[in-house]
């Protein structure tokens, strides 16, 4: 049985305190930083704005984001751009997800070197559904570097980038609410984080099995490429 992924933001040590800020503090912080990002975006593609989308969205998320936008006197697109930094920090600071990614990409490289496309194909995107969802196509504004960082997590998790970003937004709303939107958080958004945690546990078991299968095949194949991967870490 795998360990559970920590959801509490105080368990992270590499976020520079970003995960402990309230919604109002996040907005205040990045209102000032946005001017510099706009200047940098002229020459740095990573700082340019982009979108992520999904055909479904968790019930209550749009309502909570719209409410938070009104309270902070900004648009929803501005709010999701500001929260993007927190979303990236949450995923990148999670040691369990880094472990999952490392295990997955180690196995992928070995499968490619050794010529096992059948094993790789078996790790494609999996079905994932929110606990409570609205069949509504949505898009959220973010920043290229955030979207790129989520791509690195998307394949190991077997989920589209849009879904990862939405889960990250749920986490931000839950942890920055300062007592607001409590009914929506308790009845809907917290359950989405639990659903994601369950998915990570299940995915870790599958990735570990993928890694082990590649390793066993490698040991049974006598060639130089195989010997290169004989010491794949478990």
DSSP letters spanning 188-207: IIHHHHHHHHHHHHHHHHHH
Residue 122 lies in a domain: yes
Residue 13 lies in a domain: no
Residue 15 lies in a domain: no
Residue 233 lies in a domain: no
Residue 125 lies in a domain: yes
DSSP state of 14: S
Going residue by residue through the chain, which has 234 residues, state the pLDDT in tens, using 9 for 90 and above: 333 333 333 333 345 589 999 999 999 999 888 878 888 888 889 999 999 999 999 999 999 999 999 999 999 999 999 999 999 999 999 999 999 999 999 999 999 998 999 988 888 777 889 999 988 889 999 999 999 999 999 999 999 999 999 999 999 999 998 777 899 999 999 999 999 999 999 999 999 999 999 988 888 775 434 455 555 654
Residue 9 lies in a domain: no
Residue 97 lies in a domain: yes
Residue 115 lies in a domain: yes
The C-alpha atoms of residue 65 and residue 80 are separated, in whole angstroms, by 8
The C-alpha atoms of residue 219 and residue 215 are separated, in whole angstroms, by 6
**Which range marks the domain in which residue 211 is found?**
21-228
Using alpha carbons, list the distances in angstroms from residue 100 to 26, 125, 185, 231.
Answer: 29, 15, 28, 18
Burial 173-183 (b: 16+ CB within 10 A, else e): bbbbbeebbee
Using alpha carbons, list the distances in angstroms from residue 117 to 29, 111, 112, 122, 219.
Answer: 46, 7, 7, 9, 17
Number of domains the chain is built from: 1
CA dihedral 30, 32, 38, 43 (to 10 degrees): -90
Q: Which residues pair with 139 in a beta bridge?
A: 53
């Amino acid at each position: 049985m795998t360990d559970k992924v920590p959801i509490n933001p105080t368990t992270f040590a590499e976020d520079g305190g970003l995960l402990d800020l309230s919604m109002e503090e996040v907005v205040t912080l990045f209102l000032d930083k946005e001017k510099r990002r706009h200047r940098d975006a002229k020459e740095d593609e990573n700082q340019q704005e982009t979108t992520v989308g999904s055909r479904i969205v968790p019930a209550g998320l749009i309502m909570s984001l719209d409410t938070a936008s009104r309270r902070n006197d900004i648009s929803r697109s501005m709010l999701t751009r500001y929260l993007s930094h927190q979303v990236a920090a949450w995923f990148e600071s999670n040691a369990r997800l880094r472990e999952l990614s490392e295990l997955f990409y180690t196995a992928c490289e070995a499968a490619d070197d050794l010529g096992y496309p059948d094993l790789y194909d078996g790790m494609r995107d999996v079905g994932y559904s929110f606990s409570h969802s609205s069949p509504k196509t949505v898009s959220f504004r973010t920043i290229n570097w955030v979207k790129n960082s989520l791509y690195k997590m998307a394949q190991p998790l077997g989920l589209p980038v849009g879904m990862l970003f939405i889960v990250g937004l749920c986490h931000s709303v839950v942890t920055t609410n300062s007592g607001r939107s409590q009914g929506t958080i308790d009845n809907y958004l917290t359950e989405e984080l639990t659903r994601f945690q369950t998915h990570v546990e299940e995915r870790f078991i599958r990735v570990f099995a993928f890694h082990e299968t590649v390793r066993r095949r490698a040991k049974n194949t006598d060639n130089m490429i195989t010997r290169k991967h004989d010491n794949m870490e478990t």
